[in-house]
Amino acid sequence: MSESSYNFIFVIVFLCLGLRSSAFTNLNTLSFKESLSPLFGDGNLVRSPDDLSVRLLLDKYTGSGFISSNMYQHGFYSSMIKLPADYTAGVVVAFYTSNGDVFEKTHDELDIEFLGNIKGKPWRFQTNLYGNGSTHRGREERYRLWFDPSKEFHRYSILWTPHKIIFWVDDVPIREVIRSEAMGADYPAKPMSLYATIWDASDWATSGGKYKANYKYAPFIAEFKSFSLDGCSVDPIQEVPTDCSDSVDFLESQDYFFINSRQRTAMRRFRQQFMYYSYCYDTVRYPVPPPECVIVPAEKDRFKDTGRLKFGGTEARGRRRNRRQQMSEIESDPDERRRFLK
């Protein structure tokens, strides 16, 4: 069994047996025209007849994208997304919030970016956040997915409140950032729009730019549906600020604001198995970890000073053998499955 197959089984077993409720069962979903507008590449943005889904295309001439019709002071942004299939190296699909069009030098941003893929390899993606134009202090984390995101739709979500940020993949919270006073203006604080884009990032996206976009596979198609946007709609340049306290209270009362014990276990297991870079452990870049970092010994032990995984070669093969053996025991023994999920 390949390592990617093992990883798939590892997490699926956990999710199937361990997560019994969804944080997203009561979302208020919207049509495209209710909440979104084309951003660029109009001819490559194809809305469904019922206006409940949209396809973004990239060809050799242009990519495409859309933007939320409003800006929000804090919010919950979510969509079911299916990524392009086959060879997609160099192609970036991004689902993110930003206010760069309004605050060019002091913009805020929250990112989920899919980094292209070579068919048969695990998909890789990253999350990031910026506040007040602090692009030189990026807070990247990079991961592999435990499924093929081009085969079916999965839900990707970003929660942003004055107190914390959570990135979700389906029902798994993959990253939580608790606001620290020491972060100051690095914590995103100004109204942001939601964006989704597909574009050619051959110079950096896949294996650091080693693999480029190949347009014989074009058009590359990303599909979006089941949009959900909750937040306080504001005009960022109005003289009298909008009171968004009721909206924040609403966001912080929803299931997606809380990470229950099983979801927290899922997050820990995801980060142990699928996170392959974290700025918090990059001691070359940050000799002193940024103030919001929570240093987890089990995570720290897995990384070099570069923040990347430190195992490889024969050690990695040994880890794979041990994992396969553990997985076999878990699958064959019901009692072992229950212990695994505790």
Q: What is the pTM of this model?
A: 0.85
Residue 310 is predicted with a pLDDT of 65
* pLDDT tens-place values along the chain, 342 residues long: 444 454 555 455 445 434 444 778 788 899 999 999 999 999 999 999 999 999 999 999 999 999 999 999 999 999 999 999 999 999 999 999 999 999 989 999 999 999 998 887 888 999 999 999 988 888 999 999 999 999 999 999 999 999 999 999 999 999 999 999 999 999 999 999 999 999 999 999 888 899 999 999 999 999 999 999 999 999 887 777 789 999 999 999 999 999 999 999 999 999 999 999 999 999 989 999 999 999 988 888 888 777 887 643 333 333 333 333 333 433 344 443 343 334
Rounded to 10°, the helix 3-18/334-341 angle is: 80
Left, alpha or beta for 166 (phi > 0: left; psi -120 to 50: alpha)?
beta
Amino acid at 219: P
Q: Which distant-in-sequence residues (6+ apart) come within 8 Å of 186 by Cβ?
A: 130, 131, 132, 134, 137, 290
Residue 120 is predicted with a pLDDT of 79
Residue 321 is predicted with a pLDDT of 37
Residue 127 is predicted with a pLDDT of 98
Amino acid at 267: M
- Stated as kind and residue range, the H or E segment containing 306 is strand 306-308
Q: Which distant-in-sequence residues (6+ apart) come within 8 Å of 250 by Cβ?
A: 230
Would you please indicate which residues are annotated as catalytic (active-site) residues?
109, 113
Instruction: Report pLDDT digits (tens) over 85-99.
Output: 999 999 999 999 999
**CA-to-CA separations, 154 to 24, 75, 125, in angstroms, rounded:** 12, 20, 14
- Do 156 and 169 meet the contact criterion of CB atoms below 8 Å apart? yes
